[in-house]
Amino acid sequence: MKYKISVISGDGIGPEITKCSIGVMKSLEDKLNIEFELLEIEAGDSALKNNGVALSDEAIDKIKTTNACIKAPVGESAMEVIVKLRQLFDLYVNLRPAKSFPTVKSLDDDIDMLIVRENTEDLYKGQEFRIGDKAIALRTISEKASTRIAEYAFNIAKTRNNKVTVVHKSNVLKMTDGLFAECANKSAQKNSNIIFSEMYVDACAMNLIRNPKEFDVIVTTNMFGDILSDEAAQVVGGLGLAPSANIGDDFALFEPVHGAAPDIAGKNIANPIAMILSIKMMMEWLHTINNDNDCQIAAEIIQKAVENSLENNIKSVELGGKSSTSQIGEYITNYISNYNL
C-alpha cells in the first residue's frame, strides 16, 4: 500500500537522524509491497528563524494531508511544535516502550514495559500566568481524557501481559490526580481479568530502579509520564534507544523521546536508533489501522535489524561504542536490504 508521510527533520541532531530514518524507509520500500510519499515539513527553531513561526498554518495544512507524521526533535521551540500538534490532532495517547536490548547495559535483563502517557492536558497545557510576584500554572485533568487513556491502557495490556499500574499522586493532588485515579479504577472494574495496581509517582520513580521487571503497562498523567519515561529509557540503556508514538483516533505522530541534543549536533555521533524504532512503531500503527500485513513485517525486520546492529557492536558513543550516526544508519539499512523474507 502507499502511505503519505509528513517528515519534520527538526533541529540539533534532528537532520542527521532523519537521514538515517529515511534510508530505513527506502530500504523497506525495496523489500516489501510498501510505498512512501514523503512530504518535508519545515518546523522548529529553523522555521522560527526563517519564517517567524515555529509551526505555520501552512505546515499544519500539509500535515493534515498525510496518513502519519515522523518527527525528529526540535530545539527551543519544542512546545510550539509538538505540544501544539498533540492538541490540534488530539493525539491523546503517548506510548513510550522501554525494553532491554541485547548487549546493551541495562538495570536487569528482560525488562519490557510500556508507559501509556496521557498526552493532551495536565500542566503541559501551558496555562501559566503571573499575578504580582507569583507565577501560577493551572493543572487540568478531565474525566474524558483520563477515561480514554485508562481504556487505552487496559486494551493494550490485553495484547501484552494483562497487567496495568496506574501512577499518580492523589494523596497530595487530591482533586486532579484523585479524578485520574478514579477513572483508572473504573476501567479496572470493567477489566477484572487484568492485574491492576496503583502507585504514587515518587514510589514509581524508585521502583523503576529497584525492580524494573515489576512493571508491564504503566498509565499516568502527562508530566509524570514525560519524566518517568526518560527514567525508564535510561534503565534499559539510554535516550538514544527510546522511541515513542503519539496516537489519536485517525492520525499518529512518531518521534524519539530525546530532545535535539545541541551538545552533539553536527558531529555525526548521535544514536539514530530511537528515531528508527519510532519508524517501527509507525509501521505497527499502520498495520493496525490498515490491516496491512507488510507493515507488520516491516516492523519486525526493523526490530531485528536494530538488535543485529547492537549484537555486532555497531554502537554509538553514548553506548560505549565507536560507530558514527551514518555508520549505524547504513548498517541497519543494509541489513534490511539483505534480509531474506
Catalytic residues: 124, 169, 202, 226, 230
Judged by CB under 6 A, the number of residues near ligand ATP is: 16
Q: Are residues 68 and 253 in contact, defined by beta-carbon separation less than 8 angstroms? A: yes
Give 213-232 as a 3 state SS string.
HHCCEEEECHHHHHHHHHHH
CA atoms of 299 and 212, how far apart (whole Å): 25
270 binds ligand ATP per the rule CB under 6 A: yes
82 binds ligand ATP per the rule CB under 6 A: no
What is the arrangement of strands in the sheet containing 243-247, beginning at the earlier edge strand?
Answer: 35-41, 2-8, 68-71, 252-256, 243-247, 93-99, 112-118, 217-220, 163-168, 195-200
Q: Are strands 68-71 and 93-99 parallel, antiparallel or unpaired?
A: unpaired
Residues 6+ apart with CB under 8 A from 62: 6, 39, 41
List 83, 107, 239, 289, residue binding ligand ATP (CB under 6 A):
239
CA atoms of 43 and 59, how far apart (whole Å): 7
Closest separation between CB of residue 59 and ligand ATP, Å?
A: 19
Closest separation between CB of residue 231 and ligand ATP, Å?
A: 13
Closest separation between CB of residue 75 and ligand ATP, Å?
A: 7
Which residue sits closest to ligand ATP, CB atoms considered?
Answer: 259
Q: Are residues 159 and 193 in contact, defined by beta-carbon separation less than 8 angstroms? A: no
Closest separation between CB of residue 289 and ligand ATP, Å?
A: 28
240 binds ligand ATP per the rule CB under 6 A: yes
Q: Which is nearer to ligand ATP, 217 or 273 (CB)?
A: 273
Tell me which DSSP letter residue 82 carries.
I
271 binds ligand ATP per the rule CB under 6 A: yes
Bridge partners (DSSP) listed for residue 197: 165
Closest separation between CB of residue 76 and ligand ATP, Å?
A: 9
Q: Which is nearer to ligand ATP, 266 or 291 (CB)?
A: 266
Interface characters, 10-49, with ligand ATP (x: CB under 6 A):
---x------------------------------------
| N- to C-terminal Cα separation, the chain | 18
Q: Which of 165, 113, 177 is nearest to 140 (CA)?
A: 177
Angle at CA of residue 74, ends 299 and 130, nearest 5°: 130
Q: Which residue has the cell 535516550?
A: 239
Identify residues 100-139 at the interface with ligand ATP (CB under 6 A).
none
Q: Which is nearer to ligand ATP, 237 or 259 (CB)?
A: 259
List 96, 117, 258, 280, residue binding ligand ATP (CB under 6 A):
258
Closest separation between CB of residue 208 and ligand ATP, Å?
A: 18
Q: Which of 194, 255, 202 is nearest to 227 (CA)?
A: 202
260 binds ligand ATP per the rule CB under 6 A: yes
List 39, 53, 60, 78, residue binding ligand ATP (CB under 6 A):
78
List 112, 151, 318, 330, residue binding ligand ATP (CB under 6 A):
318
- Contact set with ligand ATP (CB under 6 A): 13, 73, 78, 239-240, 258-261, 263-264, 270-271, 274, 316, 318
